[in-house]
Amino acid sequence: MNLTDVERLDSNDPLAQYRDEFDIPDNTIYLDGNSLGALPKRVKQRVREVTEQQWGNDLISSWNQHDWVNLPQQVGEKIAPIIGAAEGQVICCDSISVNLFKLLSAALSCNGTTRRNKVISSHDNFPTDLYIAQGLQGLLDEARCQFVDVQEDQLLDSIDDSTAVIMVTEVNFRSGKRLDIKSLTERAHQHGALIIVDLAHSAGAMPVYLDDCQVDMAVGCTYKYLNGGPGAPAFVYVNKALKGKLQQPIAGWFGHQNPFEFDPQYQPDSGIKQFLAGTPSIISMSAIDAALELFDNLDLQTVRKKSVVLTTLFDDLINQYGLSDQLQRLSPASTEERGSQLSYSFDFAYELCQALIDRGVIADYRAPHFIRFGFAPLYNSYKDVWNAVEQIRDVLHSGVYKDNRYAQRQAVT
Ligand SMILES: Cc1ncc(COP(=O)(O)O)c(C=O)c1O
Ligand SMILES: Nc1c(O)cccc1C(=O)C[C@H](N)C(=O)O
C-alpha cells in the first residue's frame, strides 16, 4: 500500500463530503472519536439559536413554543433507526450509568427470583457498568441480586437458569472486541434471562439490530460516534415486548403520565417516557438533536464498510513498516470481531500517546499499557490513517517518546 493507493481510497469514498460538516483543528489527525466525537458545524449554529433565540428571547414559553418538553422523545426517535429500533422504544436522557441503574433494577424486579438472581457481565466491561451492578447488589440483598463477572469469552456459557440478567457492552472499550449480540440474546432467552446491551462504542459506528435480535434493553451514549458533545445525554431502549412490564426505580416527575398535573401520586407513563426522571438538559439535548441530522439518509452499512477499511489499512501499515514487534495488537485480527477502533499493547503506551499528541495525532491511552486509535468514518480520511502511521513510525524509530516530558501523567486522558 502506498500513498497513491491511499489517495485513491479517499477519492472513491462515498462519505468524503461529511468531513466538511465538522470543525477539526488544522494539523490535527483526530483518532479519538471513540471517546469524544468531533464538533459538527451545525451544532454550533443550533446551540447559538437555542441559547440566544429560544432561551434568551422566548424564555419559559419555549417549553411549548419550541417543544422542549418533547425533546427527549424527539431525539430518541432520531436515534432509533441508528440502533435498529422501531418507534416508541427509545428515549434520550441522563447518562449511561444512571440509565443502567434504571434498567438493571427494573429488569431484576421483573425477572428476578431467589432462584434466578444472577446478573452476569464480563470482567473487562467498562467499569461504570460493573459498578452499577455492584452498587445494586449492595442495595438489594444477595438473594435478589448476585453479581457475577466472567471472562468475555465465557459469557455465553455462563448463562443458565439462574441468570436474571446478562449485561454486556457490544464493543469492548479497551480491546475493541465486538460481541455477538444475537447469539447472547438467543441464549439468554432460551434460559429465561433478560439482556441489557451497552452500545457506547457501537451507535453511529456500525449498524445495530436491536429489534431484529430481540434485545430486551439497551443503553448508549451520544458523545462518541453520534457527536453530541461532552456530557451529551445518553439513551435508553426498551423492547416493546416489555411494555408495561417494567418499573424503573427513579420515579421522577418527567416519567409521570402527566407531569404538569402535579399529582402527588406517582403514576408512571405507560410508554418509554417512564424512563425519564428529571428535567432534560435542553441545551445539550438540542446539540445532539442537530448532530443527529447528519444521520438522516445515511446508510450505516456504508459507514461500517469504511470503518473496516480504515482499521484494516491502519493495521496493515503498522505491519508493513515493521512496527508490530513494538505495537502488539490487542484488538481481534478479524474485522467481523472488532468495532471501529484498534488497540495495541506497548510498554510505553502512555509516552507514545503523548508524543503523538505533540505531533497532532490524537489517540488515547488506557491503563495499564494500551494505546487506542478510534476511527470515525464520517470525518476520518484514509490519508489521516497514512499520516498517523507515518508519525507513529517516526516517533518509534527516533525513540523520542522516551523523553522525560512525555512521562508526566495527567488525570484525564
Ligand atoms: C462502554 C461504556 N459504557 C459507559 C460509559 C460511561 O457512560 P456515562 O459516563 O454516560 O455514564 C463509557 C464511557 O464513558 C463506555 O465506554
Ligand atoms: N465519558 C468520558 C469523560 O466524561 C471523560 C473522559 C473520557 C470519557 C470516555 O468516554 C471514556 C470512554 N468511554 C472510553 O471508552 O474510555
Least confidently predicted of 138-147, 277-286, 296-305: 138-147
Residue to substitute in 126, 208, 225 for testing ligand 1 pocket (most ligand atoms within 8 angstroms of CB): 126
At CA 131, angle to CA 180 and CA 213, rounded to 5? 20
Instruction: Tell the residue nearest (CA) to atom 2 of ligand 2.
Output: 35
pLDDT per position as a tens digit, 38-75 = 999 999 999 999 999 999 999 999 999 999 999 999 99
Conformational region of residue 204, where left means phi above 0, alpha means psi within -120 to 50, and beta covers everything else: left
Could you tell me if 333 and 340 are in contact, meaning their C-beta atoms sit under 8 angstroms apart?
A: no
pLDDT per position as a tens digit, 70-117 = 999 999 999 999 999 999 999 999 999 999 999 999 999 999 999 999
The confidence band for 397, taking pLDDT boundaries of 50, 70 and 90, is: very high
- Tell how far the Cα of 224 is from the centroid of ligand 1, in angstroms: 10
Average pLDDT of span 162-169 = 98
H-assigned helices in 220-339: 282-291, 300-320
- Annotated binding residues, written as ranges, equal 96-97, 126-129, 169, 198, 201, 223, 253, 279
The Cα 229–Cα 292 span in angstroms is 12
Ligand having the closest approach to the CA of 95: 1
Q: From edge to edge, which strands make up the β-sheet containing 90-92?
A: 90-92, 235-238, 217-220, 194-198, 163-169, 118-122, 146-150
Active site members: 126, 198, 223-224, 372
Instruction: Tell the residue nearest (CA) to atom 9 of ligand 2.
Output: 35
The confidence band for 413, taking pLDDT boundaries of 50, 70 and 90, is: low
Q: Is 234 in the pocket of ligand 1 (CB under 6 A)?
A: yes
What is the value of ipTM here, to two decimals?
0.98
Ligand having the closest approach to the CA of 97: 1
The confidence band for 411, taking pLDDT boundaries of 50, 70 and 90, is: low
- The DSSP bridge partners found for residue 282 are none
Of all residues in the chain, the percent with pLDDT exceeding 70 is 99
Nine cell digits for residue 35: 471517546
The confidence band for 292, taking pLDDT boundaries of 50, 70 and 90, is: very high
pLDDT value, residue 407: 85
The Cα 100–Cα 198 span in angstroms is 9
Nine cell digits for residue 207: 449498524
Query: DSSP label at 224?
Result: S
pLDDT per position as a tens digit, 234-268 = 999 999 999 999 999 999 999 999 999 999 999 99
The Cα 344–Cα 342 span in angstroms is 7
Angstrom distances, CA of residue 7 to CA of 4, 23, 318, 384 = 5, 22, 18, 10
The Cα 319–Cα 325 span in angstroms is 9
Query: How far is residue 8 CA from its own chain's centroid?
Result: 31
The confidence band for 142, taking pLDDT boundaries of 50, 70 and 90, is: confident
Q: Which of 368, 303, 338 is nearest to 171 (CA)?
A: 338
Domains of the chain from N-terminus onward: 3-30+299-407 (3.90.1150.10), 49-295 (3.40.640.10)
Nine cell digits for residue 241: 415486548
Cα distance between the two ends of the chain: 32
- Strand 39-40 with 22-23, pairing: antiparallel
Angstrom distances, CA of residue 273 to CA of 53, 236, 264, 375 = 27, 10, 18, 33
Residue to substitute in 173, 178, 221 for testing ligand 1 pocket (most ligand atoms within 8 angstroms of CB): 221
The confidence band for 412, taking pLDDT boundaries of 50, 70 and 90, is: low
Q: Give this prediction's pTM.
A: 0.98
